[in-house]
Structure 1
Amino acid sequence: MRARILTPRATPHACSTNGPCTGNTTCGSGESRYDGYCDKDGCDLNPYRFGAPNFFGPGKTVDSKSKMSVVTQFLTSDNTATGTLTAIRRIYVQNGKVIQQADTNIPGITKTNQITDKFCKEQKKVTGDPDEFSEKGGLAAFGKDLDAGMALVFSVWDDHTANMLWLDSTYPVGSNKVGAARGTCATTSGKPSDVESQQANAAVTFSNVKFGAINSTYKAS
């Protein structure tokens, strides 16, 4: 999950190999971005990018200026904790109301509000982005990594490679292809030097972190 005030993005990343990478090639650094063990782009579900520009942001369906609960659910082929991962679902709870992730609304992508292998293949096809996610094993591979154990990390960060334009601006800059518009931030925004000098005291509060069975970690009032 990455998010700023204008746009959220849920993005699983698949890896073809377990264990640490050992150099620029296997780590996918620089020009070797698509040669590494793991899919660096991931399969992102960004509501603005895929047809729901009025879903998330100040004063929108999910008001990013108000406190919210963000729920991520991992669904399996047999609805058990040991099944193969087949979908990732995002739910918001705000002001006592449960808000389902917005449906996609882009030609060439079957209407959905979940991340599935089908969605990932379709969105890579219509955007023209490399489908490293599928090539690295898709959701099944990501599910195996979850089974192996992951650490939950919260961070506030900036991006020295692309100024975070891939999250909530137009990226690649100047592109008008499907999926290039990811949010309304200016393409000149997000420079780390600007962020660190102008928002040095930026902060976010995370609280009441829970995990558990599907639909057990939240409730509407």
Structure 2
Amino acid sequence: MSPSLHALVSSLFVAVVYAQQIGTNTPEVNPRLLWEECTLPGLCKKVNGSITIDANYRWTHNVGGYTNCRNGNAWDPTICPDPLTCAQNCAVEGVDYSSSGIATAGNAVTLTLNTVTNSGPRIYLLSEDEKTYQMFKLNQREFAFDVDLSQVACGMNAALYFSEMEAHGGNAPSNKAGAKFGTGYCDAQCPSGDNFFNGTANMANSGICCNEMDIWEANRISNAFTTHGCMKDGPYTCSGSGCQGQCDGNGCAFNAFHQGRPDFYGPKMTIDTTKKFTVVTQFLTDNSRPTGHLSEIRRLYVQNGRVHQTPPTNVTGMPGFNSVSQQYCDAQRKIMGASNLFDETGGMKPLSAAFNTGMVLVFSLWDDPSGGMTWLDGPGAGSCTGGLDTSGGPSVNVTFSNIKFGSIGSTFL
């Protein structure tokens, strides 16, 4: 799940809109980020990846000039008389990553959130060629990372998730910027607004949908991992009321606090969020092979050398589930009385297909000063009472590090 574009756009120091040509004012130097691909425990190879910030966070102007392609909600009619001409006439600039709240060091990336302007970055992992996104095929594989979110308080979300974006970022004759410049975002909320799609300006504000797997949405109080399937393979567009029900926007989530274990995750608890720990997510198939169909998503934690299984549910009517599966999601909806978009969009099938094609890794850090983060950490989901906790000051960091991907059981102790 991603922050609203309203909050993001209002936070930027320049007027922003999203373009497809490459600007010449600021060179794009993608910060390096090492990660590892593993076949057996201790048998991993290093991959020289890098990261890029989303095109939505970049300055976009007319090619060869300095005029914004869009001011507020209005496209410049001279530069952008129609969607294709707009893409041809608008250039997206490189960025200074350090001033954008992003820093990498070896296998670690740190994101900074400004709680005064409510601005935090969204970034993607690039492949070694720095021209395409790194694609992860997740069926019968596991994904692990270390995280330090000790500063991330109520009303904030340090997120790591997978989006069914195209490897080239929608690169086209009218989209020369491509993945290197963070183009082509989509998710299961079908975000609309200031975006380009397939190389043309999204002047109709169409929603842009695709399957999404939220491995990690968290602060130091609560965390959840959530499936978000869509009706179609993505990315694809929808319009207005036609976007309703296209994807399972709420998703099927596992949150230990919500599932009756408020003592498991948090400061000084079993998983002590005042310190760094490892998160391992396993995507299991019905035949235990990558060729199988996704059937279960398991979560493990490692801290101080000890492996912790996700605790089983302690909710009346839910018989001890500690992973996400078709059976768990059906039971959750029966007990919680939630909508059945999980089944209506195909259950585990959409993500299984997307995992087979490959998904793009996304990192973000954002807040919700209106108190809307209660779905993650508020009453029932966590111990927060609502609202944004800014007691930590105007600058809050999260660090993701030691990213590993590989066969089941290969990425941790």
User: What is the TM-score with the length of structure 1 in the denominator?
Assistant: 0.84
Deviates more, 1:142-151 or 1:74-83: 142-151
Runs of 4+ in 1 over 6 A off after TM superposition: none
Amino acid at match of 1:202: V
TM-aligned CA distance change 1:94 to 1:36, over 3 Å:
same
2:405 corresponding residue in structure 1:
211
2:288 corresponding residue in structure 1:
79
Shift of 1:124: 1.0
1:11 corresponding residue in structure 2:
226
Amino acid at match of 2:335: V
Is the Cα contact below 8 Å between 1:42 and 1:133 reproduced in 2?
yes
Is the Cα contact below 8 Å between 1:105 and 1:111 reproduced in 2?
yes
Q: Secondary structure at the match of 1:203?
A: strand
Partners of 1:22 and 1:104 in 2: CA distance:
36
1:175 corresponding residue in structure 2:
none
Q: Secondary structure at the match of 2:332?
A: helix
Spell out, residue by residue over 1:156-177, the C-alpha distance to the aligned partner (whole angstroms, 9 max, x if none).
012477621100112xxxxxxx
2:384 corresponding residue in structure 1:
185
Deviates more, 1:151-160 or 1:93-102: 151-160
Spell out, residue by residue over 1:170-196, the C-alpha distance to the aligned partner (whole angstroms, 9 max, x if none).
2xxxxxxxxxx1111013x13xxx75x
Partners of 2:224 and 2:284 in 1: CA distance:
18
Q: Secondary structure at the match of 1:71?
A: strand
Amino acid at match of 2:226: T
Shift of 1:38: 1.0
TM-aligned CA distance change 1:111 to 1:81, over 3 Å:
same
Partners of 2:393 and 2:251 in 1: CA distance:
28
TM-aligned CA distance change 1:158 to 1:143, over 3 Å:
same
Partners of 2:373 and 2:355 in 1: CA distance:
26
Spell out, residue by residue over 1:126-182, the C-alpha distance to the aligned partner (whole angstroms, 9 max, x if none).
111112112111112211112222111111012477621100112xxxxxxxxxx11
Alignment equivalent of 1:151, drawn from 357, 360, 384 = 360
Partners of 2:261 and 2:294 in 1: CA distance:
26
Alignment equivalent of 2:264, drawn from 55, 60, 66 = 55
Between structures 1 and 2, the one with greater helix share: 1
Q: List alignment gaps of at least 5 residues for structure 1.
A: 28-34, 171-180
Partners of 1:145 and 1:160 in 2: CA distance:
33
Partners of 1:199 and 1:214 in 2: CA distance:
40
Amino acid at match of 2:409: N
Q: Secondary structure at the match of 2:352?
A: helix
Is the Cα contact below 8 Å between 1:21 and 1:37 reproduced in 2?
no
Partners of 1:212 and 1:18 in 2: CA distance:
24
TM-aligned CA distance change 1:183 to 1:120, over 3 Å:
same
Partners of 1:131 and 1:68 in 2: CA distance:
34
Shift of 1:198: 6.6
Identity of aligned residues (%): 41
The structure with the larger Rg is: 2
Partners of 2:247 and 2:320 in 1: CA distance:
28
Matched, 1:41 2:256: no
Q: Secondary structure at the match of 2:302?
A: strand
Alignment of 1:105-124 (within 5 A): 105-124=314-333
Partners of 2:272 and 2:411 in 1: CA distance:
21
Is the Cα contact below 8 Å between 1:25 and 1:36 reproduced in 2?
no
Amino acid at match of 2:337: G
Partners of 2:410 and 2:370 in 1: CA distance:
39
Amino acid at match of 2:238: T
User: What is the TM-score with the length of structure 2 in the denominator?
Assistant: 0.46
Shift of 1:36: 3.4
Amino acid at match of 2:239: G
1:24 corresponding residue in structure 2:
240
Between structures 1 and 2, the one with greater strand share: 2
Aligned length: 197
Shift of 1:21: 2.1
Partners of 2:217 and 2:340 in 1: CA distance:
20
1:70 corresponding residue in structure 2:
279
Spell out, residue by residue over 1:75-134, the C-alpha distance to the aligned partner (whole angstroms, 9 max, x if none).
000000110000000000000000111110111112111100110011111111112112
CA RMSD of aligned residues (A): 1.7
Matched, 1:100 2:315: no
Matched, 1:130 2:324: no
Deviates more, 1:113-122 or 1:151-160: 151-160
Partners of 2:342 and 2:394 in 1: CA distance:
34
